[in-house]
């Protein structure tokens, strides 16, 4: 579950991480303004600024108008119920720090760069040497001396180093204490007055651990209606309906993205590998969708149609690890049938099909009949992802 920004900042403040002076409002009647402010839509998704969900106001009249506009303006599919109004901070430099979990080495990883901001992902791709990544153990946590070493490796020294280290160490504590999958501050800003302040933050908590953090979930009947995090998107709801069509297998756990390449990928670590490989080769995923456990042709067919119905999706990549509990031929039939029912040519839609395993020869015969590019187990997931990206750009 992704916390809203104001909820995440409450946690930061409780760990003595500085945040801007601010107030959460749901109407213009609650505002008081004696200085320039930033007004932020509180929605459970990133990219608010570029989508018009973060505005600046310098007067009461200006603030009221912008508050009213934001409360009736959906941002990336979410209509905000609350807004966070914060003092405008004069920024001298922006930093990025985050803690996440590396499923390969099975340890938490801290990430730090002295060049934060909205385009930090582009920086990581363009100049990875400027982004410091370091694993640490859950039991040992991240003591301040280790945080200082990590930050110092990026060229920071003196007073900034001494002030940044405890913030990074406390962010790691938050990550562990709240069973988070991600705890991120971006940007952590150095102000003109020489203060470090977390201007924005992002905390996601593992759903299966929410029973340990019941204080973060409201129990009122209005909670689901009031907070979009507690109800699935229409796309996710339809996927869940597809998964419930029958008891066989799993087909329908989806997360939406803004790309053009639809993904149907196997569960577990292989799905993350495939997703990351697609992005590493320059692809733009439209979704993350796991299947497995031998889903029926009906499930795969309907899932294929759902993914291809998403606006902007042009191609489909089907990638799984070697499977013993899922029939390749059934998945192939479902993919092809779904594409045909949409009036499209499977050979023009499927960028790659890489599912080696049970009944693979039968599956490959079906794919060959429709001229669909497929891979056997001698082709790695990374190579299949590269093929998918190349074919999706044709």
- Please, which pLDDT band fits residue 222 given cuts at 50, 70 and 90? very low
In a domain, 381, yes or no: yes
Q: Is the pTM of this model over 0.75?
A: no
303 with 380, same domain: the answer is yes
pLDDT in tens, 344-380: 999 999 999 999 999 999 999 999 999 999 999 999 9
The b-or-e profile of 253-284 (16+ CB within 10 A means b, else e) is: bbebbebbbbbbbbbeebbebbbebbbeeebe
Give the other-Cβ count within 10 Å of 133's Cβ. Answer: 15
What's residue 156's pLDDT? 94
Provide the CATH number for the domain around residue 71. 3.30.1490.20
257 with 355, same domain: the answer is yes
Provide the CATH number for the domain around residue 200. 3.30.470.20
Average pLDDT score over residue span 169-184: 95
pLDDT in tens, 60-80: 999 999 999 999 988 877 889
**In sequence order, what DSSP letters do the residues of 242-299 get, joined into one string?**
HHTSSSSSEEEEEEE-S-SEEEEEESTHHHHHHHHHHHHTT--BSEEEEEES---HHH
- Measured N-to-C along each axis, helices 269-280 and 381-392 cross at an angle, to the nearest 10 degrees, of 40
In a domain, 248, yes or no: yes
The total domain count for the chain is 3
CA angle 392, 381, 321 (to 5 degrees): 120
In a domain, 275, yes or no: yes
What's residue 217's pLDDT? 67
- Contacts of residue 234, defined as CB under 8 A and 6 or more positions apart, other chains included, come to none
Q: Does residue 311 surpass a pLDDT of 80?
A: yes
The larger pLDDT score, comparing residue 202 to residue 127, is at 202
Q: How far apart are CA 118 and CA 200, in angstroms?
A: 10
Which SS3 state, helix, strand or coil, does residue 42 take? Answer: coil
What's residue 125's pLDDT? 67
358 with 263, same domain: the answer is yes
In a domain, 210, yes or no: yes
96 with 199, same domain: the answer is yes
Largest CA distance in the chain: 72
Give the other-Cβ count within 10 Å of 207's Cβ. Answer: 10
77 with 102, same domain: the answer is no
Q: Does residue 262 surpass a pLDDT of 50?
A: yes
Q: Containing domain of residue 205, as a range?
A: 91-214
Domain boundary among 214, 249, 267: 214
What's residue 227's pLDDT? 46
Task: Report the mean per-residue pLDDT for the chain.
Answer: 89
What's residue 129's pLDDT? 74
Beta bridge partners of 204: 2, 182
306 with 333, same domain: the answer is yes
Which SS3 state, helix, strand or coil, does residue 128 take? Answer: helix
In a domain, 9, yes or no: no
Which SS3 state, helix, strand or coil, does residue 365 take? Answer: helix
31 with 141, same domain: the answer is no
Give the other-Cβ count within 10 Å of 137's Cβ. Answer: 9
- Please, which pLDDT band fits residue 228 given cuts at 50, 70 and 90? very low
Tell me 226's DSSP state.
H
In a domain, 226, yes or no: no
- Please, which pLDDT band fits residue 231 given cuts at 50, 70 and 90? low
268 with 364, same domain: the answer is yes
Q: Does residue 257 surpass a pLDDT of 50?
A: yes
In a domain, 223, yes or no: no
What's residue 75's pLDDT? 85
In a domain, 1, yes or no: no
């Amino acid at each position: 579950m992704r916390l809203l920004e104001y909820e995440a900042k409450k946690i930061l403040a409780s760990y003595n991480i500085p945040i801007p002076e601010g107030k959460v409002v749901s109407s213009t009647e609650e505002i008081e303004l004696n200085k320039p402010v930033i007004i932020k839509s509180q929605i459970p998704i990133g990219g608010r600024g570029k989508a018009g969900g973060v505005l600046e106001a310098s007067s009461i009249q200006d603030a009221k108008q912008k508050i009213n506009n934001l409360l009736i303006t959906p941002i990336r599919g979410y209509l905000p119920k609350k807004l966070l109004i914060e003092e405008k901070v004069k920024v001298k430099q922006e930093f990025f720090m985050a803690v996440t979990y590396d499923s390969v080495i099975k340890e938490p990883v801290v990430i730090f760069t002295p060049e934060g901001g909205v385009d930090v992902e582009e920086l990581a791709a363009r100049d990875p040497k400027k982004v410091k990544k370091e694993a640490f153990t859950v039991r040992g946590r991240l003591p301040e001396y280790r945080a200082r070493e990590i930050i110092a490796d990026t060229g920071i020294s003196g007073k900034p180093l001494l002030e940044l280290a405890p913030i990074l160490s406390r962010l790691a504590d938050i990550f562990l204490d709240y069973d988070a999958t991600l705890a991120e501050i971006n940007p952590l800003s150095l102000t003109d007055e020489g203060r470090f302040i977390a201007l924005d933050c992002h905390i996601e908590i593992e759903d299966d651990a929410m029973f340990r953090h019941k204080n973060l979930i409201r129990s009122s009947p209005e909670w689901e209606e009031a907070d979009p995090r507690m109800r699935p998107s229409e796309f996710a709801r339809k996927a869940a309906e597809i998964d419930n069509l029958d008891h066989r297998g799993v087909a329908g756990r989806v997360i939406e993205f803004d790309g053009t390449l639809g993904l149907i990928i196997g569960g577990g670590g292989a799905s993350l590998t495939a997703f990351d490989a697609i992005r590493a080769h320059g692809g733009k995923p439209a979704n993350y969708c796991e299947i497995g456990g031998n889903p029926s042709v009906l499930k795969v067919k309907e899932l294929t149609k759902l993914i291809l119905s998403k606006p902007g999706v042009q191609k489909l990549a089907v990638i799984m690890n070697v499977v013993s509990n899922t029939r390749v031929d059934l998945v192939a039939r479902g993919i092809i049938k779904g594409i045909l029912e949409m009036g499209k040519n499977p050979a023009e839609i499927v960028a790659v099909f890489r599912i080696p395993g049970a009944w693979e020869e039968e599956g490959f015969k079906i794919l060959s009949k429709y001229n669909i590019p497929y891979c056997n187990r001698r082709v790695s997931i990374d190579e299949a992802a590269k093929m998918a990206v190349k074919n999706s750009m044709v």
